[in-house]
Structure 1
């Protein structure tokens, strides 16, 4: 961590990139340190972290495609692996969005997406949304409040992430409900059509 901090902007970029691949410590810590030193550059630092994370995401995905669950079992806590797998299996793409707002390291979802051959473009889309909220929330806080933001990050970030997570979850559930309704209606129409066809055929035979 000291080595990365001494590299300044480049260190944050590297940290954010490897955070999406294998590094156990979140890039948030580097962002906080550098933003506290230069609050006027906080938005720029958030952008550096955001881009670094997006570049690291497909690399983590590639590791998942190549090495599968072997990597996750060796480098991650079992409870994190089990939680992420259960979330991914049950909710699919929504798990990536949820993963962006939970304490479960996001690298688990990038590697797990590769393991399960999940579309890379979807992973990048959801990663961009989740990471943007985290990096830019911190960036805006430091830019507006200066070093005083250090005492605000935990509480404000938690509230914002929970709010955004709840909003996204509500939208996802609504979309899923509408899709299920349409599917049921379509199935009902197909069955009704088949029954009408059978009745018509029976009538002609009689």
Structure 2
């Protein structure tokens, strides 16, 4: 699927369905999709949706999607993961996971290694589920918070600044 088409679909999803759209995007991020949920969270907040509900929708979607990814990858392992991702990306994530473990997974939110690859790797290598979910929760709280908090403190001024930068 063309990445631009997917982006357009997600923007429409948020525009038409609001919080449900954010939930679906948060759900799909750890499974297969390449866009950080935070992009769409900012869009939803700029549309006037309450940041708290946006935050909770994204977080709950991400936790549920991460659970599905863990189950699929722990059951079907590396073969299934390699159908979704290039082997080079998968191996890069594998090395990172072996070196840094749970703490590395929390840090992964702020690196170029795609989040969904790490979710697949954690399941394939059978990271203990309770540690996995804790790592997901902490990483999403931090990353979503970093993107949402400016809107909480400075409101529409942040959105105006972003529009000026993009334009």
Scaled to the shorter chain, the TM-score interval is 0.7 to 0.9
- Within the candidate set 11, 16, 28, 1:2 is matched to 11
Residue 84 of structure 2 is matched in structure 1 by: 75
Residue 168 of structure 1 is matched in structure 2 by: none
Residue 92 of structure 1 is matched in structure 2 by: 101
How far off is 1:88 after superposition? 1.0
The alignment yields a C-alpha RMSD, in angstroms, of 1.8
Conserved? CA contact 2:72–2:123, under 8 Å = yes
4+ residue stretches of structure 1 with deviation over 4 A?
none
Deviations 1:10-68 (A, max 9, x none): 000011011122222221221111011216x1122112111111111111101111221
Unmatched tracts of structure 2, length 5 or more: 1-9, 163-167
Residue 68 of structure 2 is matched in structure 1 by: 59
Q: Distance in 2 between matches of 1:71 and 1:25?
A: 21
Within a 5 Å distance, the mapping from 1:1-206 to structure 2 comes to 1-5=10-14, 6-38=16-48, 41-150=50-159, 151=161
How far off is 1:87 after superposition? 0.6
Q: Distance in 1 between matches of 2:11 and 2:102?
A: 36
Conserved? CA contact 1:46–1:138, under 8 Å = no
How far off is 1:107 after superposition? 1.5
Q: TM-score, normalised by structure 1?
A: 0.67
Aligned residues: 151
Q: Distance in 2 between matches of 1:147 and 1:78?
A: 42
Query: Per the alignment, in what secondary structure is the counterpart of residue 92 of structure 1?
Result: helix
Q: Distance in 1 between matches of 2:147 and 2:52?
A: 8
Unmatched tracts of structure 1, length 5 or more: 153-206
